Structure 1
Amino acid sequence: MEQATPTVPAAIDKPARQAARTKTLNQGYWKRYGVFYLMMAPALIVLIVNNYIPMAGALIAFKQMTYASPSFMQNFMDSPWIGWGNFKYLFASSDAWVITRNTMAYNAVFIVLNTVIGVAMAIGLNVMRSRLQSKLHQTILFLPYFMSWIILSYLVYAFLNPDIGILNKFVLPLFGAEPVDWYSDSKWWPLILPLVNTWKGIGYYAVIFLAAIVGIDNEYYEAAHMDGATKWRQIWTITVPLIRPVIVTMTLLQIGRIFYADFGLFFQVTRNAGALYDKTLVIDTYVYQGFLVSGDIGMSSAAGLYQAVIGFILVLTANLVVRRVSKDDALF
């Protein structure tokens, strides 16, 4: 007589089937996408080692560092915790206001200039009839971007040298103006620094905006031309609106670094002249000066942590504002 096969209740079999299905899906997922994770691994390791592990150094901002031992880790372990002491000392001085004002004001000007002039340059390059001329101008615009700040600082010094500089020797005499001691008179540097920064970086922004403009379908311009729209009308109604996502993205990325100043620009180009500190001292150079001159690594770390936290808050706030206005243009 044939023995009946025992049946498993559906309620008991369901978890087992779900577990088997999940295991099969996981195996298929890693088989399909595992190679991409493997390709991503080197960059991920570099990111963790260079960006995330050093974040543990933020604890130094809450310590009074001592240097009794030749080992840094031993000094870190032996140094007493002082809580917010380094931050209190930082904000009790006038330096906190000066470096915050200079860093944010300069970067705000840089953002406006990079965006407005970058878009204008991109539009100009796009309307050039000769492809050779367009490529030549792109190369000329991009060349300063690849130069180091050390090289550019000497080029700037060739113009601003008080004795034999081009401005004092040739340009100012043409207008009957007196020579200027550029590295002792700080009132000129809020104009000089944005000019130099724009000269160096505008090629980068122009090429990015140009890539976005090139991707616009030419049929939009043909239809606008048939309707009698002028070139300026086409720019304002077609070009700028269609590249708005790129403009917003580039602006948000710059806002994310509004509390980070380019060290080469503010240290090398100004030649670290003490007479200019009221107009050129920013957070990055202040951290460097604090560690190099006074050796106070705790206060330098406090300034750096203050810089990172405020920058993080600013980029979140800017992205939130963009989401309120246009959700599709936000980064996240």
Structure 2
Amino acid sequence: MAYIPMFGVIVAFKNYRYDKGILGSDWIGFKNFEFLFKSETAFRITRNTVLYNLGYMAVTTICALAVAILLNEISKKWLKIYQTSMILPFFLSWVVVSYITNAFLDHQNGFLNGWLAAMGFEKVQWYFNAKYWPFILNIVHLWKAIGFSALVYYAGILGIDAELYEAARIDGAKRWQMVTNITIPQLTPLIIILLILSIGNMFRGDFGLHFFIPNNSGMTYSTTDIIDTYIYRALSEVGDISMASAVGLYQSFVGFVLVVTANYTVRKINDENSLF
């Protein structure tokens, strides 16, 4: 049943009209795809989409893995408090997070500008300077995503055979040696599977993050605009369903190719760590 709605992708190849319906609308082939590929900003938004997702994957994976290892070392008495406080941001909508971000970045009353003024520096108009946003978006994404990712890796750590650590302690291994020689190698299959799944979404940016956090400020488009936000703004004016479907199909197809390619590469290196 999950594949039946996929019939709707035919809209991407038609000049869809409500009065004619999907089957009755005129077939126009790949003309809808020209909306993206002939755009002057196509390279910029494609570059931003790919580079941001690569950055999110790398930063979140490294930081979440480090936090998971630290959670495994702390007292179980405080573990639930840390887990709850860390995963809470994951359940907040991007609209709520945008208000929290604005509390820090607001030009007049923002916490950061207040701190800069107190230190004798000039206030920064964050929403009018594109150069700061690659750092801001990575920090905000990490704050929201690290809790859930860390708990996934922590669950993987709990699944490691405790006898491996006991044997390492008997041999005189230190904590760092156990992390590098037991924990990380044992978590490698989980890390690879999660990375493969993330690669599939590399071409599909986080619309909420890139639209709400910069407040859709036109001054920051050069570093915050991705395929999803660009298409939203363009189609909200044009209102062409066929174009939107074409871009969605393009993103899904590229994502599928990336997943298959990444899984094939992993299988060639180590067949046991591949997803399929």
Shorter chain as denominator, the TM-score bin is over 0.9
Pick one of 65, 68, 74 that aligns with 1:122: 68
Please say if residues 287 and 304 of structure 1, whose CA atoms lie closer than 8 Å, have aligned partners that are also in contact: no
Q: Distance in 2 between matches of 1:196 and 1:53?
A: 37
Instruction: Name the residue aligned to 2:20.
Output: 74
Q: Distance in 1 between matches of 2:264 and 2:174?
A: 36
Q: Distance in 2 between matches of 1:279 and 1:84?
A: 29
| TM-score, scaled relative to structure 1 | 0.79
Structure 1 residue 192, shift from structure 2 partner: 0.6
Structure 1 residue 96, shift from structure 2 partner: 1.8
Shift in CA distance, 73/218, structure 1 to aligned 2, threshold 3 Å: farther
Shift in CA distance, 319/228, structure 1 to aligned 2, threshold 3 Å: same
Pick one of 145, 166, 174 that aligns with 2:111: 166
Structure 1 residue 77, shift from structure 2 partner: 4.5
Q: Distance in 2 between matches of 1:76 and 1:221?
A: 61
Shift in CA distance, 181/228, structure 1 to aligned 2, threshold 3 Å: same
Structure 1 residue 227, shift from structure 2 partner: 2.0
Pick one of 46, 50, 56 that aligns with 1:104: 50
Query: Are 1:291 and 2:235 counterparts?
Result: yes
Q: Distance in 1 between matches of 2:241 and 2:121?
A: 46
User: 1:274-302, CA deviations, whole angstroms, 9 ceiling, x for partnerless residues?
Assistant: 22112111122223222212223332222
Secondary structure of the structure 2 residue equivalent to 1:64 = strand
Pick one of 52, 65, 79 that aligns with 1:134: 79
Query: Are 1:208 and 2:159 counterparts?
Result: no
Residue pairs, 1:1-332, within 5 angstroms: 45=1, 48=2, 52-66=3-17, 72=18, 74-128=20-74, 130-169=75-114, 171-332=115-276
Q: Distance in 2 between matches of 1:110 and 1:88?
A: 29
Q: Distance in 1 between matches of 2:8 and 2:221?
A: 28
Aligned residues: 276
Shift in CA distance, 222/158, structure 1 to aligned 2, threshold 3 Å: same
Secondary structure of the structure 2 residue equivalent to 1:183 = helix
Q: Which has the larger radius of gyration?
A: 1
Q: Distance in 2 between matches of 1:232 and 1:297?
A: 55
Shift in CA distance, 227/165, structure 1 to aligned 2, threshold 3 Å: same
Q: Distance in 2 between matches of 1:325 and 1:215?
A: 24
Q: CA RMSD in A?
A: 1.6
| TM-score, scaled relative to structure 2 | 0.94
User: 1:68-88, CA deviations, whole angstroms, 9 ceiling, x for partnerless residues?
Assistant: xxxx26254454322121223
Q: Distance in 2 between matches of 1:297 and 1:278?
A: 26
Which structure is higher in RCO with an 8 Å CA cutoff and minimum separation 6? 2
Q: Distance in 1 between matches of 2:152 and 2:229?
A: 29
Structure 2: tracts of 5 or more residues without a match: none
The alignment-based identity, stated in percent, is: 45
| Larger deviation, residues 277-286 vs 201-210 | 277-286
Secondary structure of the structure 1 residue equivalent to 2:27 = coil
Structure 1 residue 127, shift from structure 2 partner: 0.5
Please say if residues 87 and 299 of structure 1, whose CA atoms lie closer than 8 Å, have aligned partners that are also in contact: yes
